[in-house]
Amino acid sequence: ETIKRDIPLSLICAGLLMVLGISGLGDKSGMMLGHLDGVILIGFFAGYIVYMVQIALKANREGKKVEIEGGSDEDIKLLSVPKSIVFIVGGAVAIAVGGDVTVDAAARIAGDLGMSQTLIGLTIVSIGTSLPELVTS
């Protein structure tokens, strides 16, 4: 069910991003996204979140259980909401600080090795922006 729902939505979002980039709706220079494009994309994201919450509430009302691989119901320990919020905020801060430290250190090392600023920008900045995504996935 997830594959039937998420893959088409991912393709639609990629197509929307391409159309918005080419059309230059929010930015008249073309091939760039402007503020209006961002508002449109955030609107679609908010709609998707509402849709996912509705699906979860419907599954909860129908009494469907979510299967978790590699464990049973006894293995799952629920955390309180305040503790969960602390973990989420703490994790987000740790990821942001860790990415910043990694990029700063890598840029300093690359500069000491004599790499050009362009090469540093193309490689290390891309690593710094991809690293948080890799850590959270």
From CA 9, how far away is CA 12, in angstroms rounded?
5
**pTM beyond cutoff 0.85:** no
57 and 94 share one domain: no
Determine the average pLDDT of the residues in 69-93.
80
Burial class (CB in 10 A: 0-12, 13-18, 19+), 50: exposed
As for how many domains the chain has, the answer is: 2
10 and 67 share one domain: yes
84 and 137 share one domain: yes
27 and 84 share one domain: no
pLDDT given for residue 72 in this prediction: 59
58 and 98 share one domain: no
Convert the pLDDT of each residue in 104-115 to its tens digit.
Answer: 888 888 888 888
112 and 130 share one domain: yes
Which run of H or E residues covers position 57?
helix 35-61
- Neighbouring CB atoms inside 10 A of 9's CB total 13
DSSP structure class, residue 28? T
**In which domain, by residue range, is 115 found?**
78-137
2 and 62 share one domain: yes
pLDDT given for residue 66 in this prediction: 56
100 and 41 share one domain: no
68 and 5 share one domain: yes
What is the chain's alpha carbon radius of gyration, rounded to the nearest angstrom?
A: 21
pLDDT given for residue 89 in this prediction: 95
Which domain-ending residue is among 49, 73, 97? 73
122 and 86 share one domain: yes
Convert the pLDDT of each residue in 9-53 to its tens digit.
Answer: 888 988 888 888 787 665 566 667 778 888 888 999 999 899 888
10 and 59 share one domain: yes
DSSP structure class, residue 75? G
From CA 137, how far away is CA 135, in angstroms rounded?
6
Rounded to whole angstroms, what are the CA distances from 31 to 2, 12, 25, 89, 118? Answer: 32, 18, 10, 35, 22
Which domain-ending residue is among 73, 101, 121? 73
Convert the pLDDT of each residue in 87-106 to its tens digit.
Answer: 999 988 998 888 788 878 88
From CA 99, how far away is CA 29, in angstroms rounded?
32
